[in-house]
Amino acid sequence: MTVPPPPDPAPSPAPRAAHGVSINTAFPDPGLLELPWDLPLERWPAEVLAAYPRGLSRHVVRFARVGERVVAVKETTAHYARREYGLLRRLQRMGTPSVVPDSVVTDRCTPEGEPLPAALVTDHLSFSLPYRAIFEQLPSPDTVERLVDALASLIVQLHLSGFYWGDVSLSNTLFRRDAGAFAAYLVDAETGELHSRLTRGQREYDIDLARTNVAGEVMDLLAGEHMQRRLAEEGVDPASVDPFAISDRLVETCTGLWEELTATETFSVAERWRVQARVERLNDLGFDVEEASLDSDESGRVHLRPRVVEPGHHSRRLLHLTGLSTQENQARRILTDIDQFGRALYPGLPEDLTAQLWMREIFMPIMSAIPPDLRRKREPAQIVHEVLEHRWFMSENARADVPTGTAAQDYVQSYLALRPDEKDVF
C-alpha cells in the first residue's frame, strides 16, 4: 500500500508590507515595514495608531507608532509625496522651523492588488499641538493673538529663507509653548516652493492668503458648539474675538518684522552708534546679523542694510552657556533669570561660570522636584519658565522671597499635576 506524501506545510503569512511596497528614507528603520501599508490609512487598526490631536487637512492623516517613536502619515500622490519630502529636507538643512521628513512610501496595494495612495511620513513634533487644541485649553482673544504672532514670525523666517508657502494657514502649522508665547512650525509644504530669493509679489500673496485663511479659521473656530460652551465656561464673550482684527494683526506683524529685518537705514557718519543700535534691536527680536552692507555716498550719508539674518539669537546663547536646547522666548526668560541670579549672589563672576552655578542651584532642583510621570506634560525649559513665574507670584503674595524648591513643589501640586500630557497624547 502506497502512503501518500504529507501535505506541504502551510506557508508563513507574509509581512503586511510585502505587497510591493517601496520605502525611500534617509533614516532607515525596519519598524516602518511593520505598518499595515496594504490597508487604506483611514482603516488602520487602533493598535498601531497614537491618539494625538490632528489639525484640519485635505488629506487623510494618522499618527502611528514605530517602535519607541511616533510618526505622522499622510496619504497623497507619489509625485507630491516626493516633492514635499525634498522640500522639508532642504528646510531642515537650512534650520527653518518645520517638521522632520522621515520617508516616502510608494507602490502600495491591497492584498487583492488594488493600488493605494502613496504616503509621506514625518516625525511627530513632540510637545506640539494644532491651534484648535490650544484654543480649547485657553479660550481667550489673547490665545489667538499669540498664535497669530507665532505664525507671523514663522512666515517671515520662511520668506527670509526664500520659501514661498502658497497655503499659509493656522491649520498647516503646529505650535509649541515658548515661555508666555508660542513657537510655530511648518507642517505642510505641499504647495511650497524654494527660491534663492522671493519677489515682493510672492511675499505679498502669501501674506494676503494668510489674512484670508486666518480670518476664516477663527470664524469657523468660534462657530462650533463645543467652543461656544468652552467660551461660556470661561466667561469669554465670542464677540470679543474679532477674526478680521486678528488677521489684520497678522499682516501688521509680518510687515513690521520684515521691515525691521531687511530695510535700509540711512544716517550721517556722526551717527555711527546707530549701527550697533540696529544690531541690538535685531537681537532683541531674536535674530543675529550674519552679514550686512554698510555703504557711504558722496554726501557723507551711510546706508546700512542687514543682508543675512539668522533667527535664534537667545537660544544659541543659552545653548552655549548651559547646553540647554530651548525655544527663543524660553531662552530669553532663562537668560534673564541667570543674569538676576548672578547679580544677586555672585556679582562680578563671569557669565559662563554664573550660568553653570544657575544650572546647579536652580535648574537641577526644579527638575528634581518634577515626578518622572509628570515630565511628559511640558518640555523642561517650559517647566523651568513656569516654575520661575510661579515663584514670582508666590513671592508677591507672601511679600517675601519664596525659595525655588518651595515654588517647584507647589507648582507640581497646584498646577502641573492637573495639566494634560503634551509630549505624546493630548
Are 164 and 43 in a shared domain? no
Q: How far apart are CA 163 and CA 96, in angstroms?
A: 10
CB count within 10 Å of CB 217 equals: 21
Phi, psi of 192 (to 5 degrees): -75, 160
pLDDT value for 54: 62
Q: How far apart are CA 135 and CA 80, in angstroms?
A: 31
Q: DSSP secondary-structure letter at 363?
A: I
Residues 6+ apart with CB under 8 A from 210: 151, 155, 168, 169, 247, 250, 251, 254
Closest CA to 73 of 2, 27, 121: 121
The DSSP line for 285-325 is TTEEEEEEEEEE-TTSEEEEEEEEEEE-HHHHHHHHHH---
Cβ 251 vs Cβ 163: under 8 Å = no
- What's the rounded mean pLDDT across residues 65-87? 93
Q: What is the CA radius of gyration of the chain?
A: 26
| Residue 282 forms part of a structural domain | yes
* Joined grid coordinates for residue 277: 543700535
- What's the rounded mean pLDDT across residues 131-139? 87
Closest CA to 184 of 147, 142, 136: 147
pLDDT band at 10 (very low <50, low <70, confident <90, very high): very low
* Joined grid coordinates for residue 405: 524648591
Which residue, of 311, 327, 344, is where some domain finishes?
311
The residue segments making up the domain with residue 156 are 128-261
CB count within 10 Å of CB 106 equals: 19
pLDDT value for 19: 56
* 3-state SS class at 241: coil
Which residue, of 123, 141, 166, is where some domain finishes?
123
Are 251 and 339 in a shared domain? no
pLDDT band at 210 (very low <50, low <70, confident <90, very high): very high
| Residue 319 forms part of a structural domain | yes
- What's the rounded mean pLDDT across residues 42-71? 84
| Residue 6 forms part of a structural domain | no
Are 166 and 257 in a shared domain? yes
Closest CA to 121 of 38, 41, 16, 14: 41
Are 67 and 180 in a shared domain? no
Q: What is the pTM of this model?
A: 0.84
Angle at 60 between CA 191 and CA 28, to 5 degrees: 80
| Residue 5 forms part of a structural domain | no
Which residue, of 85, 100, 123, is where some domain finishes?
123
pLDDT band at 56 (very low <50, low <70, confident <90, very high): low
For residue range 149-189, list pLDDT tens digits in order.
Answer: 999 999 999 999 999 999 999 999 999 999 989 999 999 99
| Residue 171 forms part of a structural domain | yes
Are 140 and 256 in a shared domain? yes
Q: How far apart are CA 210 and CA 151, in angstroms?
A: 9
Structural domains in the chain (count):
4
- What's the rounded mean pLDDT across residues 44-61? 80
pLDDT band at 105 (very low <50, low <70, confident <90, very high): very high
| Residue 276 forms part of a structural domain | yes
Are 256 and 321 in a shared domain? no
> Mean pLDDT for the chain?
88
Are 280 and 334 in a shared domain? no
Q: Residue written as cell 543675512? A: 308
For residue range 395-410, list pLDDT tens digits in order.
Answer: 999 999 899 999 999 9
| Residue 37 forms part of a structural domain | yes
- What's the rounded mean pLDDT across residues 303-331? 91
pLDDT greater than 80 at residue 4: no
Cβ 289 vs Cβ 308: under 8 Å = yes
First to last CA, the chain: 70
For residue range 368-379, list pLDDT tens digits in order.
Answer: 999 998 988 999
Q: How far apart are CA 334 and CA 278, in angstroms?
A: 24
| Residue 10 forms part of a structural domain | no
CA distances from 47 to 43, 105, 182, 206, 362 (A): 12, 20, 32, 40, 41
Residue 186: CA count within 13 A, CB half-sphere:
32
pLDDT value for 321: 95
Phi, psi of 115 (to 5 degrees): -70, 145
Closest CA to 180 of 313, 367, 329: 329
